[in-house]
Amino acid sequence: MTTSVLLRPRALSPGDLVVIAALSGPLHAVYEPDLERAVVVLERMGFRVRRAPLLEAGRGHWWSAARPVEIAEEFNGLLRDPEVRAIVAHDGGQTALGYLDLIDVEAVRADPKPILGYSDISLLHLVLYARAGLVGFHADLATPGLGGHWQAAPAARQAVLEQLYSTLLTSDEPIGALPATPSWECWRAGRAEGRLLGGVINRIVLAQATPYALPLERFDGAVLFWEEMGGYASYVWSNLQVMRHCGILDRISGMVVGVPHAIDGLGTDGSPTLREIVLDVLGDRDIPVLGNVEFGHAGPNLPMPVGIRAALDAGQRTLSLLEPAVRPR
């Protein structure tokens, strides 16, 4: 069952509890300092921070922090706990597909709260948006993001991001224009306005292959955002072709592409650039495209709240959030 009603979490207040949880991959001991730095960032924003029990260095099952049923049980407990006001995924990975059918969607509807993360967490955002209308926070993960990429960024950029995340979580006023940088590129000029939908591109395609897929009409007029890491340039082309075949590209009003990360065969030795791949698959569709925007695995991430209306002007290289991501307390 899907819903088209938008469900905004309640705005956070200073002192609210934010829990960092292992919603997919495990915590390797070498990254414990990064996780500790992520806690400091969240505390500096004014929140209390707790680690969920499964987030323990050295704990794991195959490529996951635990068995999918265990992760789902802990996740559901956080969704049901009224003290928990936001959940930040520690990292991505390869596990969310294993428990999409175990999530307590009624708990989400009863007490919606921000869930932050990208990569594998894209599946949670898309599925919970489809099933409950929940605004998902496609934003930095705790360990590789807040405690990793953020620490390597210039101090001024860190300050901008910290303020941006804090405002997004605590204010029921629209953010407006996201802070652009010279890396943003106009790949096809034009303007569009619609709901932000997206995530890592392979997870968008996988989500659409489950019973919890977004109905195609939910893509009508949407601003599709996506990014990718790893694999080959041909995989990106193939995933875009899947979205063409299933009709998504005929319905969206605009596209925003994140900074690619570690993709083999991209713009080298006669291979196409990411821009060339996108324009090749879009063909003559008159869709504005803004490329090389800072969200995704290249990090640090600008937040891209799933379900929120956004305005894109690719020629002017601007992307603005027209609605708040949270509702008043």
Domains of the chain (ranges, CATH numbers)? 17-170 (3.40.50.10740), 176-321 (3.50.30.60)
Active-site entry in 90, 253, 297, 323: 297
Backbone φ and ψ of 246, nearest 5° = -85, 0
| Chain segment 111-165, per-residue pLDDT in tens | 999 999 999 999 999 999 999 999 999 999 999 999 999 999 999 999 999 999 9
Please answer whether residues 271 and 234 qualify as being in contact, where contact means their C-beta atoms are separated by less than 8 angstroms: no
From 74, 227, 294, 323, active-site residue: 227
pTM: 0.97
- Token code pair at residue 115: 């869930």
Rg, Å, the chain Cα set: 18
| Residue 89 reports pLDDT greater than 80 | yes
Task: Give residue-wise pLDDT tens across range 273-315.
Answer: 999 999 999 999 999 999 999 999 998 999 999 999 999 999 9
Alpha-carbon distance 249 to 50, whole Å?
Answer: 41
The question of whether 261 is a catalytic residue gets the answer no
Give me the catalytic one of 24, 64, 119, 253. Answer: 119
Contact 55, 29 (CB under 8 A): no
Q: Report pLDDT for 145.
A: 97
Q: Return the amino acid letter for 180.
A: A
Cis before 144? omega within 30: no
Residue 248 to residue 79: CA distance in whole angstroms:
31
DSSP secondary structure letter of residue 260: P
Integer Cα distance of 89 and 144 in angstroms: 10
Q: Catalytic residue at 119? A: yes
> Does 297 participate in catalysis according to the annotation?
yes
Q: What SS3 state is found at 105?
A: helix
The answer to whether 131 and 124 are in contact (CB under 8 A) is no
Cβ contacts of 267 within 8 Å, gap of 6 or more: 233, 273, 274
Q: At what angle do helices 233-245 and 274-282 cross, to 10 degrees?
A: 20
Nearest to 140 by CA among 275, 37, 264, 272: 37
Cα 278 from Cα 264, distance rounded (Å)? 16
pLDDT band with cut points at 50, 70 and 90 for residue 49: very high
Q: How many CB atoms lie within 10 A of CB 167?
A: 18
